[in-house]
Structure 1
């Protein structure tokens, strides 16, 4: 039996499950209302699939937007595939859930940021997650805030 509970990895798994559920709903019903997503992912992840010209242009990470035009959204157990438009050029992508660094829906000020130990300068526990109702602003300032904030889920309720 292990010496401690790995809450960081358990939270990562749960939050990636949330992303999978949201994307599955969008695949079945489309994006409701003003909802749209900014998804930043690690382009060097071994299971990420993107055109060579995109990985050359974005050698470390890339942010994609799912809003007005997307096709072929296929949600799987380990990741999702989608075709997005890059300068009038449709390109298929496959993004593993564990390659996702941020997931933001600015229409409702919701966002998740996943951090790995390599993202942090000091020794912190694995799997730090930030959940913030003002996620758009938090993501813009994320480089200046090395520590995660603990936010009560009640703050999301209106």
Structure 2
């Protein structure tokens, strides 16, 4: 029996499912309106599949943009694949959701950042893997305000240090 509930790990799992659901909708219906995505991922993560020449250019991490031209977007349980243009050459990529570091839709000021040490299995340190909005919480402890009147809530005060 676990010593405590690992909320950080559960939150990451839920947020990765959110990404999968969004990408599935886009694969099925296309990008609506001005929506577009910046997806940064770890190119060294197991399961990332990309052309060796791209891997040489991006040995650690890569940011892709799903906006004007992409094709063959397919979403599986634990990864997605897509064909993008690099120098007017189509290249297929396979990216496991676990490899993703950030997922941002700047058209609606939405972003997720996944900490590198989220996969730690130390049950006592349940908050290590908590996700932060890339557009949001400042480390100052104040709750920043967004231009649309909504607030981004910082979870930092509940994190173990």
> Smaller-chain TM-score range?
0.7 to 0.9
Which secondary structure does the structure 1 equivalent of 2:98 belong to? helix
- Asked if the contact 1:69–1:84 (Cα under 8 Å) also holds between the matched residues in 2, the reply is yes
Q: Whole-Å Cα distance in 2 between the matches of residues 27 and 75 of structure 1?
A: 8
The residue that corresponds to 2:133 in the other structure is 131
Which secondary structure does the structure 2 equivalent of 1:11 belong to? helix
Structure 1's consecutive aligned runs of 4 or more residues displaced over 6 angstroms after TM superposition are: 145-151
Q: Whole-Å Cα distance in 2 between the matches of residues 25 and 57 of structure 1?
A: 30
TM-score, scaled relative to structure 2: 0.79
Which secondary structure does the structure 2 equivalent of 1:94 belong to? strand
Equivalence map 1:74-93=2 (5 Å): 74-93=74-93
Which secondary structure does the structure 1 equivalent of 2:80 belong to? strand
TM-score, scaled relative to structure 1: 0.81
The residue that corresponds to 1:70 in the other structure is 70
**1:114–1:50 distance in 2 versus 1, CA, 3 Å:** same
The residue that corresponds to 1:29 in the other structure is 29
The residue that corresponds to 1:52 in the other structure is 52
Shift of 1:100: 0.3
**1:52–1:32 distance in 2 versus 1, CA, 3 Å:** same
When the two chains are superposed, the root-mean-square deviation of aligned CA atoms in Å is 2.7
Equivalence map 1:135-154=2 (5 Å): 135=135
Shift of 1:84: 0.4
Q: Whole-Å Cα distance in 2 between the matches of residues 106 and 155 of structure 1?
A: 16
Which has the larger helix fraction? Answer: 1
- Count of residue pairs the alignment pairs up: 142
The residue that corresponds to 2:151 in the other structure is 155
Which has the larger strand fraction? Answer: 1
**1:147–1:95 distance in 2 versus 1, CA, 3 Å:** farther
**1:2–1:148 distance in 2 versus 1, CA, 3 Å:** farther
RCO comparison, higher one (Cα < 8 Å, 6+): 2
